[in-house]
Structure 1
Amino acid sequence: MPADHPENTRPATVRRVPLNLFGMAFGIAGLAVTWLTTARYGHAPLWAGRALLAVSAVVWAITVVRYARYALSVRGAFAADLTDPVAAPFASLAVITPMLPAAQGLHAYDSRAGTIVFDVFLVLTVLFGGWLTGQWIYGSLNLDQLHPGYFLPTVAGGLVAAAGAAAVGQRTLGYAMLGLGLICWFILGSMILARLFFRPALPPALYPTLAIEVAPAAVATVAYLSLRGPHVDVFAAILAGYGVLMVLAQLRLLPAFLRLRFAPSFWAFTFSWAAVATGVVHWTQILRPPGYLIYTYAALSAVTLLIAGIAARTVLAAFSGGGVRTGPPHTSTALAEEH
């Protein structure tokens, strides 16, 4: 191992903080949006969603502090993370996540402060998404390193920003961000599916990222309805059609998911399925089919139990010293070896 490798310069008391840990705050914020959406239709307490947003903000802050301590203590760690072809996309969650508490929470108490914080992180999200896109063009990528986490910087970033812009009253900006997210989804989605269809299977620790495949259509639906208002038109129906296909595809993946051992990568399930649940709440409340409240509460309960279970397992692993591991510091297979 070279003398200047980050592993060789790591103090004994500093543990590696993998970038996918930012998925914890992102998943909790996604659950908060599901609760807030249900509350705005009059079927859940508003305080529950806002409390979850506060929890997500606290978890985000703790993760930022932990990662900053690690990155400042280990020479070259930050640069290595941002150029790692497998891990780098997860870094975008550090700037995407705060848009949700700002637009959906802080804005309700102080509209000016909420808008400013939201806009700051929107700009950071776009800048980082642009930098990563340039890095992928400039750098040397192997198709087998591509995984659904590549949706995060631009697709998730753009669509979350679109919904947030609608919440703070910046509709034109919201449509611009919707365009960014949708076009990147169409381009990256075709490449990611081609890799998944025709290349060797993902490493086991990256299997949970397959859940991200359900997210783009669901988050696009939430963003579109946030901008256009709560009514279903042709484009919303088109998004729903593809979304249903991706949800059904997950059923075939269940055997692989059930064989996995718990790891931080399980947080990839959380925001993805929270977005699906939020989309279900919107659709059932807009169309109001027979038994629509049953569907609403079933979606809310299922995603709450899923995320609560992953959170409980994470806490248990942290206190027991097992399960949540820190793998190799900076290699193109770092996440794959965390498991």
Structure 2
Amino acid sequence: MAETTSETPIANNRLEHFPVAFFSAVMGLLGTSLAVEAAGFSTVSHLIAGLAALVFAAQAVLYAAKAVKHPGAVSAEWNHPIKLAFFPAISISLLLWAVVLRGVSPGLATSIWLFGALLQGILTLAIVTSWISHRGFGVGQMSPAWFIPAVGNVVAPIAGVSLGFVDASWYFFSIGVLFWIVLQTLVFNRLVFHDPLPGKLRPTLTIMIAPPAVAFLAWLQLNGGVLDAPGRVLYNLGMFFTALVLLQTPGLFRLPFALSFWALSFPIAAITIASFRYAALSGSPVFAALGWGLLVLLVAIIAGLLWRTALAVLRKEICQPE
């Protein structure tokens, strides 16, 4: 009996520290599913989507339990200058589910898209309101994680256009591109003129790849799949940031594992899908080769992240107080 009472506070404490940032794992898995599908491996894609469904369900249950038992902890995350940006990972996951399901079950995809888009719209307004409120954020509190709300907006058109929500897709695309440009300027100012990112946040540098890569895919949906000048600009910006981030990779291997490493997954998946789409539209084997190379990198990243996350769970290294 004494053993039970001593274990309960520990489990309760871990639930209190279950991070909203972990929803980025679902983004990464769904992005990988779509990347594998773009490469022509439908069966493998479905298996990865199934894993993503299990992870998403488990995370939703755990975070809902956290909200009920530890509302103060959720409020603390919402008021944290960095953790705040990860809340749209929930709505982005829903929008990605709509992309995965649009060809299989358009009705279900439509329902999920509507809920995800509504949640994304609410979160964007709430987060931007928080940014411009009287609370002051220091430059050192900014990181590429701030791109996540903007990324969510440019994800919306990928399924939204084909599901019939054209005007709403233009709305989300416009907001996403605007805040990507604004935040890109602020993030570069922080990276160039201020102290380096702390270790746990260095993997978030990869997020810089996502806005142009996802915006490229969204733009193709909005303009009817034509590879025009804006599309080429967006894709090439995505490739530039990919090269820039890959140059930082050696330093990441020296860092201790944290759940923030899942930030590596979705951006690489996005640029992989973008490369396959660019190759198909341009007919260039160079971009097809880039796509395959990025897919190999993505699979290696996902395998490594799954292994290290499972190991961290077994060692009880995650969901600990910071």
TM-score (norm 1): 0.86
Asked if 1:327 corresponds to 2:321, the answer is yes
Could you tell me how far apart the structure 1 residues matched to 2:27 and 2:185 are?
25
Tell me the equivalent position of 2:262: 267
The amino acid of 1:25's aligned partner reads V
Aligned-pair distance for 1:160? 0.8
Tell me the equivalent position of 2:112: 117
Deviations 1:237-257 (A, max 9, x none): 111232222122123312321
Structure 2 contact 268–294 (Cα < 8 Å) conserved: no
Tell me the equivalent position of 1:86: 82
Aligned-pair distance for 1:64? 1.5
The alignment's C-alpha RMSD in Å is: 1.9
Tell me the equivalent position of 1:37: 38
Could you tell me how far apart the structure 1 residues matched to 2:292 and 2:246 are?
21
Could you tell me how far apart the structure 1 residues matched to 2:165 and 2:38 are?
19
**1:109 aligned counterpart, secondary structure:** coil
Tell me the equivalent position of 2:28: 27
Q: How does 1:31-180 map to 2 (within 5 A)?
A: 31-38=32-39, 44-105=40-101, 107-138=102-133, 139-153=135-149, 155-180=150-175
Distance 1:76 1:17, change over 3 A: same
Structure 2 contact 98–110 (Cα < 8 Å) conserved: yes
Given the alignment, which residue of 220, 239, 244 partners 2:239? Answer: 244
Could you tell me how far apart the structure 1 residues matched to 2:27 and 2:65 are?
20
Could you tell me how far apart the structure 1 residues matched to 2:139 and 2:315 are?
37
Aligned-pair distance for 1:293? 4.8
Tell me the equivalent position of 1:13: 11
Could you tell me how far apart the structure 2 residues matched to 1:191 and 1:311 are?
32
Given the alignment, which residue of 209, 229, 237 partners 1:234? Answer: 229
Deviations 1:49-88 (A, max 9, x none): 2332232222112112112222322251121111111211
**2:255 aligned counterpart, secondary structure:** coil
**1:232 aligned counterpart, secondary structure:** coil
Structure 1 contact 102–115 (Cα < 8 Å) conserved: yes
Given the alignment, which residue of 278, 281, 289 partners 2:284? Answer: 289
Aligned-pair distance for 1:201? 0.9
**1:97 aligned counterpart, secondary structure:** helix
Structure 1 contact 18–326 (Cα < 8 Å) conserved: no
Could you tell me how far apart the structure 2 residues matched to 1:102 and 1:282 are?
19
Work out the number of aligned pairs and report it. 311
Structure 2: state its 5+ residue gaps: 1-7
Aligned-pair distance for 1:11? 4.3
Could you tell me how far apart the structure 1 residues matched to 2:216 and 2:285 are?
22
Structure 1 contact 103–167 (Cα < 8 Å) conserved: no
Tell me the equivalent position of 1:3: none
Could you tell me how far apart the structure 2 residues matched to 1:189 and 1:291 are?
28
Tell me the equivalent position of 1:304: 299
The amino acid of 2:11's aligned partner reads T
**2:248 aligned counterpart, secondary structure:** helix
**1:98 aligned counterpart, secondary structure:** helix
Aligned-pair distance for 1:301? 2.4
Structure 1: state its 5+ residue gaps: 1-9, 39-43, 329-339
Distance 1:119 1:287, change over 3 A: same
The amino acid of 1:27's aligned partner reads G
Could you tell me how far apart the structure 2 residues matched to 1:245 and 1:291 are?
16
Aligned-pair distance for 1:230? 3.5
The amino acid of 2:251's aligned partner reads A
Distance 1:77 1:157, change over 3 A: same
TM-score (norm 2): 0.90
Structure 2 contact 92–152 (Cα < 8 Å) conserved: yes
Distance 1:149 1:19, change over 3 A: same
- The runs of at least 4 aligned residues of structure 1 exceeding 3 Å deviation read 290-296
Structure 2 contact 143–187 (Cα < 8 Å) conserved: yes
Could you tell me how far apart the structure 2 residues matched to 1:291 and 1:208 are?
28
Could you tell me how far apart the structure 2 residues matched to 1:127 and 1:292 are?
37
Tell me the equivalent position of 2:3: none
